Amino acid sequence: MELKQGDKAPEFTSKDQHGNTVSLSDFIGKKVVLYFYPKDNTPGCTAEACDFRDNYQSLKAKGFEILGVSTDDEKSHKKFVEKFELPFTLLADTEKDIVEKYGVWVEKSMYGKKYMGTDRKTFVIDENGTIQAIISKVDTKNASAQLLEAIA
């Protein structure tokens, strides 16, 4: 079942880049930008993370918490965060629990080969845990502006 605007955001619990346990329910009362990306340290994923980093203070001022999710492990996330000085939380979804719940673990194709991977997608979740917006065609260099446009 594909998630849509107005649906309750599926609950999850995972580990962040520091090994801390993080659950969506920790953010009730706050707006959450839950963004899914394929892999740490790749060009598009780095551009997206750095755009969120560069606009982090203005997003925080608007009441947003940012959570990035990929299937990379905590160690990979920690290196990615340190390398690019990312001020927000990255969640390690090595068991593919979150990507499955949000419907972003999909069949992809590269050079004629099919494989399973994470679809780049952003969910904006309101203070009550309801999906306010879904951005399916993410502009990695302008992800922050794109999300603000989506909820305007």
Active centre residues (catalytic): 45
Distance CA 113, CA 4 (A): 29
What residues form DSSP beta bridges with 108? Answer: 115
- The 3-class secondary structure across 64-112, one letter per residue, is EEEEEEECCCHHHHHHHHHHHCCCCEEEECCCCHHHHHCCCEEEEEECC
Alpha-carbon radius of gyration of the chain: 14
